[in-house]
Amino acid sequence: MNDPVIRSAPLGESSLTSEAAATALGRQIRSVRQQQGLSMQALAAHAEISRAWLGEVERGTASPSVDMVRRLANSLGVSISSLLDGRAAQVVPGPGEVSPKVHLVRRSDRPTLRFPSQPFEWTVTTPLQGELQMMIAELVPTQGAMELMEHGGQESVLVLKGTLEVHVGAESFVLDEGDCITFQANLPHGFMNRGPGAARMLNATSPPSIGEWRHTN
């Protein structure tokens, strides 16, 4: 499948919020690069991207795909989540504990993903670092994941609003508001809003699978 494009803020957020988040991502990439003594040309060559494009990413004026961020992370020898979480998560200490990490993602800081094959956006509500990934999507009637997909881990879909038709393997299920389905995500699966109004869904995957979705024929 085509790589998802990372957007810095959900639909409806001001351009300032979006630009600020994109700038933070670029700043994180530039900081790690400079700490390792790499030139922009060296990092761009290793990640197989142009120096000009890397410059736009570091300035926060470009929206890199998940695959692009993964290649940059691999070239820098760090995890993809360490680059992405730097702009979306705040780490605060828990009361009465020595060194726990609590990841707080503010509504205004939630990044969104758009896959070229899907006519809607995913709003990411959890940091990408960790064992759980949660995303929200809102679909108008007849919208959905047109092609079945598969990836590793376990997945749950909770319908927050409306009606959703979920396909898992050779089976099909109709979920109304409040219904939840859980399945092994290596089974081909997809979903569609078959109702007369908008549908909103919460998708939870463990471990996180962003950038690992594969379409099946």
In sequence order, the 6+-apart residues with CB closer than 8 A to the CB of 147 are: 1, 117, 190, 215, 216
Residues 6+ apart with CB under 8 A from 178: 158, 159
pLDDT value of position 144: 81
Q: Is residue 2 part of a domain?
A: no
Does residue 81 share a domain with residue 26? Answer: yes
Q: Indicate which CATH number applies to the domain containing 189.
A: 2.60.120.10
- Tens of pLDDT along the chain (217 residues) come to 444 544 443 333 322 235 656 677 788 898 888 888 889 999 999 888 899 989 998 988 877 776 787 788 888 887 776 676 654 334 444 444 333 467 777 888 787 777 766 778 888 888 766 788 899 999 998 888 767 888 889 999 999 999 999 999 999 999 999 999 999 999 999 999 988 999 999 999 998 776 555 545 4
**Distance (Å, rounded) from C-alpha 75 to C-alpha 8?**
22
Distance, CA of 27 to chain centre: 19
Q: What is the pLDDT of residue 21?
A: 60
* Predicted pLDDT at 24: 73
The answer as to whether 109 is a domain residue is no
| Same domain, yes or no: 88 and 162 | no
Query: Does any domain span residue 69?
Result: yes
Q: Which residues pair with 167 in a beta bridge?
A: 172, 190
Tell me if 174 sits within 8 A of 163, measured CB to CB: yes
Half-sphere exposure of 209 (CA within 13 A, CB side): 21
**Do the domain assignments include residue 119?**
no
Report the domain count for the chain. Answer: 2
Together in a domain, 82 and 139 = no
Asked, for residue 81, whether it belongs to a domain, the answer is yes
Distance CA 200, CA 192 (A): 11
Domain's final residue, options 37, 66, 92: 92
The pLDDT value recorded for residue 86 is 54
Q: Is position 112 within any domain?
A: no
**Domain endpoint, select from 72, 92, 112:** 92
* Sign, CA torsion 127/149/139/155: negative
Q: Are residues 21 and 72 in the same domain?
A: yes
What integer pLDDT is reported at residue 72 of this predicted model? 87
Domain that holds residue 77: 8-92
Q: What pLDDT was estimated at residue 76?
A: 86
The CATH code of the domain that includes 40 is: 1.10.260.40
Q: Could you give the CA distance from residue 54 to residue 52 in angstroms, rounded to a whole number?
A: 5
Query: Per the domain annotation, does 18 fall within a domain?
Result: yes
54 occurs within a structural domain = yes
> Which of 63, 92, 121 is where one domain is finished?
92
Predicted TM-score of the model (pTM): 0.61
175 contacts: CB under 8 Å, gap ≥ 6 = 157, 159, 163, 164, 165, 166, 181
